[in-house]
Structure 1
Amino acid sequence: MLEGLGITHAFGVSGGAIAPVWATLQHHSSIEVFHFRHEVGAVFAAIESYFASDRPAVVFTTAGPGITNALTGLFAARWEGAKVIFLSPATSTAQRGRWAFQETSTYTMPGEIFSTSKSLFHYATTIESGDELPKIARRLAAGLARPGGFVVHLSISTAIQSSFIDISLPQGAAVQTLVSATPQAIAECVQLLSEEPFAIWVGFGARGAAAEIRQLAERTGAAVMCSPRGKGIFPENHPQFVGVTGFGGHSSVLAYMQQHCPLRVLVLGTRLGELTSFWNPELVPKRGFLHVDIDPEVPGVAYPSVETVSIQSDVGVFVRQLLEHFLNRHERSTAAVTLPRPQSKAIYPNTGSLVRPEMLMDAIQRVIVEGSDAVVMTEAGNSFAWGTHTLRFDKPGRYRVSTGFGSMGHATTGVLGAALARQGKAVALVGDGSMLMNNEVSTAVRYQIPAVWIVLNDARYNMCAQVMPSLGFEGMDTEIPQTDFVMLARGMGADGTRVETESDVQAALERALASPVPFVVDVVIDPSSRAPVGTRTQSLIQQDATESIVTPSKSGWSGWEI
C-alpha cells in the first residue's frame, strides 16, 4: 500500500512492538529505511525529505515512549504543512488494560492519538484487521493528493503485524484537484489591483508559483516582499524586491511602506503569523489585503480588524488567472522608481578576534549559496535570524526554516532528510544549544549522508542572553560549557574542523563542501554580536510579557534591525 502511494523513504527507531513492520519495510519492499537515533529526529528528517522531493515520507516507532518522543516532530509536520505517514504499534486487544509493557492503548494514552485529531493528525486510526486496508488506502490517497499538508497516524495492533492477507488494494493514485477562484472573484481582484500600485507579499505556500509571481510583478511594477520561509521564491537580487519581513527581516520593507504607501497588498501563501509580520500595524496598507490561500480559514486571522478580501485558491492557479487579465498591458517600467532595498555591507576578515556571525554569513553566501546548489537550513534561534537577514537566494527551495513550531533540533536532524531526498549536499546553520540537544551525526555516518553542520558556537543560549535583558530580566543563566563539536563528530565517525579566526572561515567551508563524509564546521562565534531579530522583543512586550514594562507606541516598531 505504501509503495503504491509513492513512498520511497522511511525514517524511524526500532523496537520489539514494531519489529514485524520494520523488518518487512527493510527486507521486503523497495522503500529505503533509515534507522535513526531518536524518534523526533526521524520525524524532522521525514519533514525535510518531503519538502525537498515533494514525496510523502514514512516515520515508524515502537510503542509507548517511541510514540511520545515523536510527538514534537509530528506537531512540527502539521504546522509546516508536510505530508507524513506515522506508523506505530498498538497493544493487542486481549492485553489492553492489563499493564502490558509500554502499553499503547486508550487506557494509557489520550484517545486523540489513535483517532482523527484536528490539532495533530488529519487522519488517524488503529488497524485491527487487514480487511481495513482498502478503505485506509483510499483515504490516504485522497489526503496525499490534496493541496497542503497531510499528517497521518496508523496504529497497527501487534496481533496482526505478522499476519498475511489476500486482499485487493485500490489501484491508481487519487487525482489532485486544485482549488481555483471564481471568475467573479478574479475580476474583482483585477479591478482592486488596478486602482493604484500595489505590493505583493510572498509566503512559503507560493513556492510552486515562482515564475508566475515574477511575471505578475514585472508586468505590474509591484514591489515584492517575502516571509522568512518565502526566501528565494522571488529573486532577492531583483530590483523590485524590497526585503524580508518579520524575524530577521529588513528595515527596507518598512521604508517602502512608509515612502510608497501602496493602496493594497496582495498576500500569497502566508498566514502572516508573528514571525512573518509581528502583527506590525505599519505593514498594513491603506485599503488592506487581498489574501490568497488554499485554506479559507487563514485570511483575516493575523490582522482581524484590517479590511481583507479573502480568496480561496491554489496560489499558482490564482496568479495564472490574474495574469490573463494583464496580458495586454505593457510592463510598467521600474527604472524611474527607486525602491528601498535590503542593504549589504562589505565585510573583511579581522585578525586575532573571535569570528563575527556577519562575517561567517558573508562567507556562507559566497561559498555555499553562490558556489553550490546545496539546500541551506537554519535552526530556531540566532542562527535563524542571521541566515534570514543576511543570506540571499534567487531560486525557491534552497532555504528552509521553521517559523511556526520552531523546535530546536529541527535543522540539526532535518538536514539528513533534505540531503537524502536531493541526493546531494544539505547544510544546517545551527547553534551549539541545538546541536547538543539533538543531532543525527551518527545516522549520517551510518548511511553516508552528505550533511554539513555549521555550528555557531558561542557557549550560551545567545538569543536568550541577548533578549532577556531587553524584557527586564537580568542575570539569567544562559551559559553552556564550551564544547568541541569536532571531537564529538570524529568520535562518531564523521569529520570536521574548528574555526577560531576569521581568516580560516572560507577554507573551512570549502573543505566541508568537498568532504565525502558528514562534516561539522565548529565556529567559535563572538557572542557580543547582536543578532538581527527584528522587533521580536517589541512583539513580546506587546503581548504583555511582563506587567512592569510599558507597551511601546506605534513609532516603537521602526527598529527592525538590531
Structure 2
Amino acid sequence: MRAIEAGLRFLIKQGVKYIFGIPAGSINALYDCLYDLPELQAVVAKHETSSGYMAAAYTRITGIPSVCVGSSGPGATNLVTPAANAWKEKLPVIFISGSVPSSKLGKGGAQELRADPIFAPVTKLSRMVMNAEELPAAIAEAYWTAISGVPGPVHLSIPIDLQMTDIGEMELPELPLIQEQMALVDKTLMEATLGAVLQAGERGAILLGHGAKSAQADVLAFAERTGWMVATTPRGKGAFPEDHPQSLGVYGLSGNDKAIEFLNSDGHKLIMVLGSSLGELATCNWEARLTAGKQFVHIDYDERELGRCYEADFALHGEIAPVLRQLSAGLAQAGSGLTAERKMLLEQLHLARLEAAADASAMETWNTRTAIRLLGANAPDQTRFYIDIGEFMTYSIQNLLIREQQQFDININFGGMGSGIAGSLGAKLAEPERPVMCITGDGCFFMHGLEVMTAKEYGLPIVFVVINNARLGMVYHGHMLQYERCLSDFSQQRVSIAAVAQSLGIRHVQVESAEQLQAKHVQQWFAEGQSGPIVVEVVVDGNEIPPMGERVKFLQGATY
C-alpha cells in the first residue's frame, strides 16, 4: 500500500468525505489513489483558493473536517489565503501541499518551495513529512490537532516520492479514546451571572456572534423568557429570526439604526454577548458605549476571546447552549419570565416597525437595496444565503430579513472577493436538500466566477445572483466618502454576466427592474428537478451610497 493511500484510508475511517483542490504533478499520487477509494470524492475546482473556501464552508456547516490539496509552489501559496480564513473561523480543514522529491530538495526543482513555514502562522500545525512510514501517523496527528481543543486548520507538505512509497500492509493509526471535554463553568460564577440577570429584569439586551448559531434554539428560549431585545453581529446574522418581535437586526458594520441606537443607549442595565470576538466589524469600531455603564456578560467556548476587546464583569468560558440552559433553569426556578404586558408592548412595537418598513419599501426606486430586499422576501423558507464581499454585502447585512428556518453566511473577517461564490458550493454539498442562494457582485465574479462551472460539472443547483453595477462598488464609494475622489479605473464598461453564463452553457436570467424580481421568478430559479446552477444578473446603476460609514471612519483613523 502506498503511504498516501494509508493516510487517506485513515481519513475515511474518521468520516472525511471530500477532497477539494486541483490536481498537479507533485500531488498526483493522491489523486490516483482516489480511483480505489470511492468513499472520498474529489471536487476539482477552477482555482486552489476557491477550493479552500469550498472546504471551509463544508466544514463550517457539517462540523466534519475536509481536506484541501494543492501542488508545490504556487499551488501551495494559493491555499494560504483560505487557510488564513479557516484560522480566523476556527475550522478544522486539513491542507495538504505536494513537494518535489525529498532527495531533490534544495536543488532547484520546478516550483520548489518550503511551504510549511509559510503556513505556520495561520495553522495549528504545519510541517513537512520526511519519512514515508511516518506519513499515515502524520496525517492522524494533523487530524487530531485540527479537531481538538479550539478547532483550526493544519497543513502538511508531502514530497511526491514519499506519497508513492510502498509501505506494505499496516494498521491504520488510532485517535485517542478519550475525547477532550469542555470544562464546566465555575458554579460560583454561574450563580453570580444568574444574579445579575435576575437583577436586570426586563432591562437587558443580547448581542449574538457567529458562535451563537450553534445554540439557536437555546438562544430563542432564553430571549423569550427574559423578553430582552436581541441584535446580532454581521457574522451572527441568522442566529435569531429577524421577523421576531424582539429582533433589532444587525449591530456593527452596516448595522440597523434601531440596533445601534438601542445597544449604545443606557436603556438597559446588562448586555450579554454570545459567541463573538467583538472585533472591529462586530462593534462599530469597538464602540465604548456598547458596554459603558452596564454589566457585561461574555460567553464563548474560546477562552482567548474573553477580555480581549472589552473587559467583562462575568466572563464565562464554555459552550453557549448548556450555559443558557442553566441560566434559563435558574430563571424558571426564581419565577422570572416575560410578563404579558411586556409581550404585548414588544408585539406592538414590532408591528409598527413592519408597517414603517413596508411603507419605505413601497416608495423605493430600482437599486441594489431594492433588489436585496426582494431577494430576501421572495426566497424559499429554508434558503441559505451565502454572501460574498463587496458593496452588495452591506445592503445584504442591513436589508435581508432572515426568517427562523433560513441561514445566513458571510466570511466578513477574512473572506476575499469571490469567497462567497466558492463557499456556496461547499454549502450545497453540506446540505444538498437546502436551497442555496449566493449573492455576489461583478467584481467578485471576475475573480472567481468560473466556479459556476464547477457547480455545473457537479450538478449543484445553486442560484448565483450577481449584482452588476459595472464598478468595484465598495472601493468606489469608500474612496468618494473618504477622499471625495477616485480613479476612473474603479469603474468599467459594463459586461453582460448573463452572456458569460450563456457561453458556459449555464442557465441564466437578466433582471433590470423590480417587476422582474417577484416571487414567481424566484420560484422558477429554485424549481425542482434542476440539476445545475443558474446565474441571475441583476443590473443596477449603483450610484446610491451604501451603508458603510463606520468602515470609512475606521479607515480615516477617526476611532483613534
Question: Do these two structures clear the TM 0.5 threshold for a shared fold by scoring above it?
Answer: yes
Equivalent pairs, count? 531
- 1:259-316 CA-partner distances (Å, limit 9, x unpaired): 662222111100111111121223224134211112222122223xx55432211112
For 1:437, the aligned partner's letter is M
Equivalence for 2:214 = 208
Write the distance in 1 (CA, Å) between the matches of 2:494 and 2:516: 20
Is the contact made by 1:48 and 1:418 (CA closer than 8 Å) also made in structure 2? yes
Write the distance in 2 (CA, Å) between the matches of 1:82 and 1:227: 19
Change over 3 Å in CA distance of 1:31–1:349 after alignment to 2: farther
- Partner SS, residue 72 of structure 1: helix
Equivalence for 2:438 = 428
Change over 3 Å in CA distance of 1:457–1:112 after alignment to 2: closer
Equivalence for 2:17 = 8
Q: Which moved more, 1:406-415 or 1:336-345?
A: 336-345
Identity of aligned residues (%): 25
- 1:471-518 CA-partner distances (Å, limit 9, x unpaired): 124133310221111111122221101112221122543332124421
Q: Which residue among 507, 510, 514 is the counterpart of 1:495?
A: 507
Equivalence for 1:168 = 171
Equivalence for 1:232 = 238
Write the distance in 1 (CA, Å) between the matches of 2:266 and 2:402: 25
Equivalence for 1:100 = 109
Is the contact made by 1:349 and 1:502 (CA closer than 8 Å) also made in structure 2? no
Equivalence for 2:343 = 335
Write the distance in 2 (CA, Å) between the matches of 1:147 and 1:499: 47
- Cα deviation for residue 534 of structure 1 reads 5.0
Write the distance in 1 (CA, Å) between the matches of 2:293 and 2:209: 21
- Cα deviation for residue 141 of structure 1 reads 4.7
Change over 3 Å in CA distance of 1:124–1:67 after alignment to 2: same
Equivalence for 1:532 = 547
Is the contact made by 2:300 and 2:320 (CA closer than 8 Å) also made in structure 1? yes
Write the distance in 1 (CA, Å) between the matches of 2:142 and 2:104: 29
Q: Is 2:281 aligned against 1:281? A: no
Equivalence for 2:39 = 30
- Cα deviation for residue 150 of structure 1 reads 1.8
Equivalence for 2:252 = 246
Is the contact made by 1:81 and 1:150 (CA closer than 8 Å) also made in structure 2? yes
Write the distance in 2 (CA, Å) between the matches of 1:94 and 1:137: 21
Q: Which residue among 479, 489, 492 is the counterpart of 2:491?
A: 479
- Partner SS, residue 530 of structure 1: coil
- 1:253-402 equivalence runs, <5 A: 253-257=259-263, 261-278=267-284, 279-303=286-310, 306=311, 308-328=313-333, 329-333=335-339, 334-335=342-343, 337-338=345-346, 344-346=357-359, 347-348=361-362, 355-368=366-379, 371-395=380-404, 398-402=407-411
Greater fraction of residues in helix:
2
- Cα deviation for residue 420 of structure 1 reads 1.5
- 1:316-356 CA-partner distances (Å, limit 9, x unpaired): 22212222312222422223644686862343498xx8x41
Change over 3 Å in CA distance of 1:26–1:459 after alignment to 2: farther
Equivalence for 1:178 = 182
For 2:403, the aligned partner's letter is D
Change over 3 Å in CA distance of 1:366–1:336 after alignment to 2: closer
- Cα deviation for residue 138 of structure 1 reads 4.7
Equivalence for 2:157 = 155
Write the distance in 1 (CA, Å) between the matches of 2:536 and 2:516: 11
Is the contact made by 1:412 and 1:430 (CA closer than 8 Å) also made in structure 2? yes
TM-score (norm 1): 0.89
- Cα deviation for residue 391 of structure 1 reads 1.1
Write the distance in 1 (CA, Å) between the matches of 2:163 and 2:513: 56
- Partner SS, residue 86 of structure 1: strand
For 1:292, the aligned partner's letter is I
Q: Which residue among 178, 191, 197 is the counterpart of 1:193?
A: 197
Q: Which residue among 516, 524, 532 is the counterpart of 1:517?
A: 532
Change over 3 Å in CA distance of 1:72–1:46 after alignment to 2: same
Q: Is 2:86 aligned against 1:77? A: yes
Write the distance in 1 (CA, Å) between the matches of 2:64 and 2:406: 14
Write the distance in 2 (CA, Å) between the matches of 1:287 and 1:374: 37
- Cα deviation for residue 63 of structure 1 reads 1.0
- 1:340-384 CA-partner distances (Å, limit 9, x unpaired): 86862343498xx8x41222122212221xx24231111112121
Change over 3 Å in CA distance of 1:535–1:396 after alignment to 2: farther
Q: Which moved more, 1:471-480 or 1:127-136?
A: 127-136
